[in-house]
Amino acid sequence: MASEQQIKEQVQPFDQSSKDRAEQVLAGNVRAASRLITEAQNGHAAARDVLTYLYPHCGQAHLIGVTGPPGVGKSTLVSALICELRRREMTVGVVAVDPSSPFSGGAVLGDRDRMEGFSRDRDVFIRSLASRGASGGLCAVANDAVDVLDAMGKDVVLIETVGVGQSEVEIAQIANTVILTLVPGYGDSLQAMKAGVMEIADILVVNKADTPGADGAVNDLRSMDYYQAVPRGDEMWQVPILKTNARRGEGVDELVSEVFRQIEFAGKTGWKEARQKARRTRQFVDMLTSRIRSDFTDSMDKDVRVTALIQKIESMETDPYTACAEILEKFRAAYK
Amino acid sequence: MSDNTIKVLLAKKKIDVHGRGSKLITRELRDAGMEVVYFRFGTVDDIVNAAVQEDVDVVAVSIMTSGQLHIAENLIPKLKENDMTDVIVIFGGTIPPVDFEPMEKMGVHRTFPAGLPGGVVADYIKENVGKLNLA
Amino acid sequence: MSESKHSEKFDQALAAWEKGRERYKDKLRPNNTLSGIPLKTVYTQDDVQDSDLDEMPGVYPYTRGLYPDGYALTPWMQQMVFGYGTIEETRKKMEDMVAEGMEGYFGHHVFNVVYDIPCMYGIDADHPEAEGNLGQCGVHMSTGDDYDELVRDWELETSNISMITGDNCLPALALLVAAAERRGKDAKSLRGNSMNWYPRIAVQDVPSWEPKWGYALAVDLIKWATHNAPAWNHTNIFMYGLSEAGATPVQELAYGLAWGKSIIDAGLEAGLDPDAFIGRLGFQIGCTQNLFEEVAKFRAHRRMWAKLCKDAGCKKPSNMHGRVHVHTNGYILTQQQILNNNARITLQALAAVLGGVQSVHTCSYDEATSIPTEESHRVALRTQQILMWESGVRNVADPLAGSYYVESLTDEMEAKAWEIFDEIEANGGYRKGLESGEIKRAIDNSSWEIKQNINSGKQVVVGLNKFQSESLDELEPFRVDMAIEKKARKRLEDYKARRDQSAVDAALEDVARACQALKDGTGDLMPALIDAARAGATNGEMMVPMREAFGWFVSE
């Protein structure tokens, strides 16, 4: 089903320019990194080559996810986090994901707007991405960008996503620390959260601390006693509840300290390892299934065996279930 | 790269006032299938920095209270300095037509007057992306 | 239909009318006003059956005008906006405008001065972000010297000074007060307007205070002015900003009145007596070329505001006056076939005057591309003067009263506006809508709809989507020489060199303390700002502790 050309692309030895490009990214070249992220997002084979070279250099950066419902001030919080991390002399990458319009395919990427004041800072790299209705969810979109910034040498990579679709849950599949942001006063903040979302939080933040009800919200959340289980030992991570006023940078110092406390804990208990393993496994499976899928759908029209089957389905001579089993049988035979 | 989504950076100059027009253009471009990195106010440095990090195809500057010549003069060289040459640069807003030509000489590909029918800017971008740049 | 109310003659006329249109009436395309109110082609006595036609100008609720004889006593003020460069250029412009016959009530002077954006942001000439923006589209006025030059030789009690600030309203007023004092006068002599228009942030994406503090600062100014400058108009309800952002005339009415109510509420909450402060609120309203809709809007506005004032507890009739300055809408002007704008501006001014407003600024035809040239500015002023002296429109108060169309449209706009107003109030009022972003979203959507209507041709804009030309007019616009920047910086430098720096530093520390006191609810801010102005602090210097204390960002 794959064309000869496609097979060639897949198994050809990596060419020199990919290596050079990777070197540029590793050296911190912003333009090279930025272009690479674009190509990766567009699914270019050349980008995959470069990413292969970069992969051994990934895993150093602390990956911190920031998510929550719209309107809680995530971008402002990310901006405050950048300030605090810079104060602690860490270099920062940011991947901010916004949903694409299901109608036009376009998007307004407005997170960067809140992150003012970093344009002269060589050590802050902010990249906005549109979800492009990615069938693999957030991970398909953000994984590569995160890896590029990681390989570039950023100490911390912040991943920001709005709580649309399943993106809050998906962020937990990339980030090692997930900060779930809420605000008081938008109805019961607990009710506002979709089922299952609270479980992804490693740290809960109540932002807009100057709003009446902020303390109440913090107390409510504390009384829920959230925990995260970890693979080794009988330790658990008690999810801390923090209060911030992101616009004024209040509470952000404590937040960052809590983040690093969680990172340390995750390292000691094997939690981080487990999460990273899960991420890469998932990335591998997603990528594989996605590429098989697109390879198949790309060549579907030209493959007489497939078109014949589809005609049979249409004329009721066979059905989708049987047809599927037939093809799968052939794949399995070939794979052996 | 015609099947790839077009990415646009749209900024009002810093400092400026309200931007009814830039909000409308942003929405129109989104509805035409483009990804618009929209930030409300940016200095030339902010704009260049964002253009590089976001790897945009188009840099669009919205002007309401003059300054177009001063900004164009600084923006184009800075984009080139930062190796952002495969990009279309457009300006729009309250800009007198007599300035269109001087701006073109500075490297701005097109200046749009206010109030144009929706789609004019989107069409221009679609027609020219990949063809125009800041050589 | 209560046919018994018709005379036989009218019934006959009606029947004949119906007959006369039978052949084509089904082919008629119904039209709407800009606000979406469906229009008939003919209005009759039936359409005013429920209207209250027993009104007189100068009598509550003032539908027919604030004053018993309309413009016969004194015509509307010609309050043309001007301002660019440093105070030197603007001072000259002030004198020129007076010489051209720009006048306020009873021949008094009236100066509608617009600041440049650095001043609006509270940035002085030596700030990096001021570069490229000094003196462009407004005057850079930030030091005591600047304000001294502003008021030099003008008789303060007969000179109305409107200060079109950004959110630097309090420092600007403080600087004006200090300048008046140096003239040997006090704040009681001041006549004019503070914008005090923080609530415009509901629709404008510009940096400003946190909502809680925005209102607190507004009240601080109101309190100070109420006690110290009784002839000063402390607050401007900037409905113009709403229509410029996309509000239809009915929305402009509804949101504008909700804004006004939120200020009334804030003042009452602060313990002010309604008759002490409500009368000094003023309105700045937009005006499109849609003649009758605008006239109806202005009439409905007066009626509605009077009712709100009465409900708030005002007893003195003049405190229930909705005093209106019209700034003709800029968004309807086109760059295409730019001279067409003269016709638009004329219609806008006519609508305002037929609507009985107190003051008018007419835009210049070239404002679609830049600030006015000398000539275009003069033409705009002449437009008003032609209306005033040649058209006869000022001779009769509320001339459209009794028109079946205008009276019924007034009623309908009022009703529709109350609907929206009630919804806003039910959701917590304008203030809540500002904080939540509701108002911004509603008006952005309206702006979008208008664009779609223009794009589709449903709403015609001559020269833009109909009767287009191949090319744009190549008029040489007014340019503010960049050399102004150097001049402004030098003025600032010289001023700073001459003043007592330690006195300024101490005064600014007091300002910071006063900001905190305002937040704690234990003190006021204006007195500290006035002291700082007396000591020689600049506009930008006073804004520093204010931004620190009250926040400074673009709201959602």
Q: Do C551 and A247 touch (CB under 8 A)?
A: yes
> Where does A172-298 show beta strands of DSSP type E?
177-182, 203-206, 227-229, 236-238, 241-243
pLDDT value at B3 more than 80: no
**Angle, in degrees to the nearest 10, between helices C211-228 and C539-550:** 130
pTM of the model: 0.90
Chain C segment 43-102 residues within 8 A of B by beta carbon are none
- Which residue of C238, C340, C365, C369 to mutate against B (max B Cβ within 10 Å)? C369
pLDDT value at residue B2: 36
Parallel, antiparallel or unpaired: strands A156-161 and A92-98? parallel
Identity of the residue in A71, A210, A247 whose CB atom sits nearest the CB atom of C553: A247
DSSP state of B117: P
Question: What is the percent of chain A where pLDDT is above 70?
Answer: 90
Query: Does A71 touch chain C if contact means CB atoms closer than 8 Å?
Result: yes
Mean pLDDT of C268-297: 97
Chain B residues inside the 8 Å CB shell of A103: 31
Provide the number of CB pairs (under 8 Å) joining chain A to chain B. Answer: 81
Q: Do B35 and A126 touch (CB under 8 A)?
A: no
Partners of chain A (3+ Cβ pairs below 8 A): B, C
- For B47-56, how does the pLDDT look when each residue is reduced to its tens digit (9 = 90+)? 999 999 999 9
* Rounded CA separation C355/C295 (Å): 4
Query: Does C452 touch chain B if contact means CB atoms closer than 8 Å?
Result: yes
pLDDT value at A8 more than 50: no
Q: How far is CA C291 from CA C81, C294, C297, C321, C355, in A?
A: 23, 5, 10, 23, 9
- With 0-12 CB in 10 A as exposed, 13-18 as middle and 19+ as buried, what is C259? buried
Chain C segment 243-262 residues within 8 A of B by beta carbon are 244-246
Q: How far is CA C29 from CA C19, C47, C407, in A?
A: 19, 20, 23
Distance from CA of B9 to the nearest CA of A (A): 9
DSSP state string for C338-350: TTHHHHHHHHHHH
Chain C segment 435-464 residues within 8 A of A by beta carbon are 437
Partners of chain B (3+ Cβ pairs below 8 A): A, C
pLDDT grade for A14, boundaries at 50, 70 and 90: very low
Q: Do A247 and C210 touch (CB under 8 A)?
A: yes
pLDDT value at residue A126: 97
pLDDT value at residue C3: 52
CB atoms within 10 A of CB A212: 8
pLDDT grade for A90, boundaries at 50, 70 and 90: very high
Chain A segment 183-222 residues within 8 A of C by beta carbon are 210
pLDDT value at B1 more than 70: no
Q: How far is CA A326 from CA A18, A305, A309, A319, in A?
A: 39, 11, 9, 11
Q: Do C556 and A247 touch (CB under 8 A)?
A: no
Identity of the residue in A31, A118, A120 whose CB atom sits nearest the CB atom of B83: A31
Upper half-sphere CA count for residue A113 (Cβ side, 13 Å): 24
Identity of the residue in A106, A109, A112 whose CB atom sits nearest the CB atom of B32: A106
Question: What is the percent of chain C where pLDDT is above 90?
Answer: 93
Q: Which of C408, C455, C541 lies closest to C119 in space, CA to CA? A: C541
- For C211-260, how does the pLDDT look when each residue is reduced to its tens digit (9 = 90+)? 989 999 999 999 999 999 999 999 999 999 999 999 999 999 999 999 99
- For C41-89, how does the pLDDT look when each residue is reduced to its tens digit (9 = 90+)? 999 999 999 999 999 999 999 999 999 999 998 899 999 999 999 999 9
Distance from CA of C272 to the nearest CA of B (A): 33
What's the one-letter identity of residue A133? G
Upper half-sphere CA count for residue C429 (Cβ side, 13 Å): 10
pLDDT grade for A231, boundaries at 50, 70 and 90: confident
pLDDT value at residue A137: 67
Mean pLDDT of chain A: 87
Query: Does C553 touch chain A if contact means CB atoms closer than 8 Å?
Result: yes
**Angle, in degrees to the nearest 10, between helices C429-436 and C404-426:** 70
Parallel, antiparallel or unpaired: strands C191-194 and C232-233? parallel
What's the one-letter identity of residue C19? K
Chain C residues inside the 8 Å CB shell of A113: 554
Mean pLDDT of C167-176: 98
Q: Do B70 and C336 touch (CB under 8 A)?
A: no
pLDDT value at residue A164: 64
- With 0-12 CB in 10 A as exposed, 13-18 as middle and 19+ as buried, what is C56? middle
CATH node for C200-480: 3.20.20.240
Residues of B with CB under 8 A from a CB of A: 1, 4-5, 7, 26-27, 29-40, 42-43, 45-46, 48-50, 52-55, 82-84
Q: Do B37 and A112 touch (CB under 8 A)?
A: yes
Return the residue of A nearest to C550 by Cα. A248
| Residue boundaries of the structural domains of chain C | 74-195+486-556, 200-480
What's the one-letter identity of residue C518? L
Name, in order, each residue with C-beta under 8 angstroms of C150's C-beta and a sequence gap of 6 or more: C87, C90, C91, C113, C141, C161, C176, C179
Question: What is the percent of chain C where pLDDT is above 70?
Answer: 99
- With 0-12 CB in 10 A as exposed, 13-18 as middle and 19+ as buried, what is C128? exposed
Which residue(s) pair with C161 in the sheet?
Answer: C111, C192
In order of their start, the domains of chain B are: 7-128 (3.40.50.280)
Question: What is the percent of chain B where pLDDT is above 70?
Answer: 98
Q: Do B5 and A130 touch (CB under 8 A)?
A: yes
What's the one-letter identity of residue C156? L
Query: Does C520 touch chain A if contact means CB atoms closer than 8 Å?
Result: no
Mean pLDDT of chain B: 91
Q: Do C204 and B14 touch (CB under 8 A)?
A: no
